[in-house]
Structure 1
Amino acid sequence: MSSKDVVLSRVRKALADVPDDEQPQDVPVPRSYLRVHGERTAVGTVALLADNLEDYRALVHHCTGDELPGLVARLLADRGARTVVAPGGLPEGWLAMAVADGVERVPDAPDVTARRLDAVDSVVTGCAVAVAETGTLVLDAGAGQGRRRITLVPDHHICVVRVPEQVVDSVPQALEQLDPTRPLTWISGPSATSDIELDRVEGVHGPRVLEVVLLAG
């Protein structure tokens, strides 16, 4: 008997007394854990998000809607970016000044392969929700977010978070807003790993540089 057979056998045994027509929602699950750690205002929640993002070595910026196109153009220029991936549904104005400065906008199309993405300098996306207590951004491939690969291959990711409406305190609160059938990507800082001596290496399985724009208003 293979390991797979052993595992499946144990699953079948554990489910032996479950009626065939029973659905997950038919059995309430007790959730006695804290949903939020402490009390804070909406401003405090956004501040906590910024602190935790910076703790993960993400670069955090604050701006208003009118300031966003100029900020995005500056961030791309600071990185020397000449090409940027733009997912479908990304507001046109976000990249307007960058495109005017000569940055090439690469659409998130099915024929844009991983090899092509590896040659692109940056990617700009929105997000589905941001978790303050963990400093985590969640993308669900919705409008302005695109396929998962566009945020994993380019070396520089600019993620725009609308505050305070897209920010929640905790992971349980985030899960309540997310559709589990969608492809969820959870991002806590730039991609990084470390060896047994704790030497940190960034950009291993995702962007080396993560810049988060907290967009107010």
Structure 2
Amino acid sequence: MSRHVPGARDEILARVDAIVPRRPAGEVAAAYAAIERPYLRRHHEGGDLVDLFAERAADYRANVRRVSRAELPAAVAEVLAGRPGVHGVPAGLPGEWLTATDSATLVTDPPAARLDALAGAVTGCAVAVAETGTIVLDHGPGQGARALSLVPDHHLIVVGADQIAADVPDALDRLDPRRPLTFISGPSATSDIELSRVEGVHGPRTLEVLIYS
């Protein structure tokens, strides 16, 4: 709107704010904390959350592999070598993850116009959910813009064992709801009326997950 009428967008948002005045941040936090949550917040106590997450993520047709921290660079290089071409990586991705990968095959924060030509993308994550096999990106350092995780046909996500939460409520407690959140449960897929599954329609056709500890 403001592209055609300078200031129109700001004026509209100011009117909305006037109707529902902003509340102090401390007041909002207190009101959120006061919400009753009588539901069970953790369904898994004492079990191996990493094994459960790996099992559930694989159920969604993700290719999942567990490695040690020392094995991670070689594992990343091996996965990318299986997809020849240039891979997009976000700024802030830990450099030690890529020490075994040819830097000539990597481009940092590629512009949107180049995303479709990439062989794939490599990102970290904000949290993962053992119960559902879901990975959540909040697009902070090491995760990049949302388009980087949606446009390339292949997505490699590195998950630390300490990032795996038991259940969705546990995961949400670790996230900032003010950030843009992308929930990923397996490769992008949809089905037509006859339930014929098609992958890669709304995002990556192939999802690979490396879990390190």
Query: Normalising TM by the smaller chain, what interval?
Result: 0.7 to 0.9
Gaps of 5+ in 1: 1-17
Cα deviations across residues 56-115 of structure 1 (Å, max 9, x unaligned)?
Answer: 000001111221111111111222x22011101111122222216xx5211115xx01x3
1:26 equivalent in alignment to 2:14? no
| 1:206 Cα deviation from its structure 2 partner | 0.7
SS of the aligned residue for 2:201 comes to coil
| 1:195 Cα deviation from its structure 2 partner | 0.8
Return closer, same or farther for 1:104/1:58 CA change in 2, 3 Å cut-off.
same
SS of the aligned residue for 1:36 comes to coil
CA distance in 2, matches of 1:71, 1:200: 29
Conserved? CA contact 2:44–2:166, under 8 Å: no
SS of the aligned residue for 1:204 comes to coil
Correspondence for 1:106: 107
What letter matches 1:39 in structure 2? E
SS of the aligned residue for 1:159 comes to strand
Instruction: Give matches, 1:10-25, under 5 Å.
Output: 23-24=27-28, 25=30
What letter matches 2:72 in structure 1? L
Correspondence for 1:51: 55
Instruction: Give matches, 1:20-169, under 5 Å.
Output: 23-24=27-28, 25-26=30-31, 28-41=34-47, 44-79=48-83, 81-99=84-102, 103-109=104-110, 112-113=111-112, 115-163=113-161, 165-169=162-166
Conserved? CA contact 2:90–2:143, under 8 Å: yes
With structure 2 as the length reference, what TM-score do the two structures score?
0.83
Correspondence for 2:191: 194
Indicate the RMSD between aligned Cα atoms, in angstroms: 2.0
Identical aligned residues as a percent: 53
Correspondence for 1:182: 179
CA distance in 1, matches of 2:142, 2:135: 14
CA distance in 1, matches of 2:62, 2:92: 24
Correspondence for 2:203: 206
| 1:38 Cα deviation from its structure 2 partner | 4.0
Cα deviations across residues 3-53 of structure 1 (Å, max 9, x unaligned)?
Answer: xxxxxxxxxxxxxxx999695433722211111124333xx1111100100
Return closer, same or farther for 1:108/1:34 CA change in 2, 3 Å cut-off.
same
Return closer, same or farther for 1:72/1:26 CA change in 2, 3 Å cut-off.
closer
What letter matches 1:57 in structure 2? R
CA distance in 2, matches of 1:180, 1:38: 24
CA distance in 2, matches of 1:105, 1:152: 17
Correspondence for 1:11: none
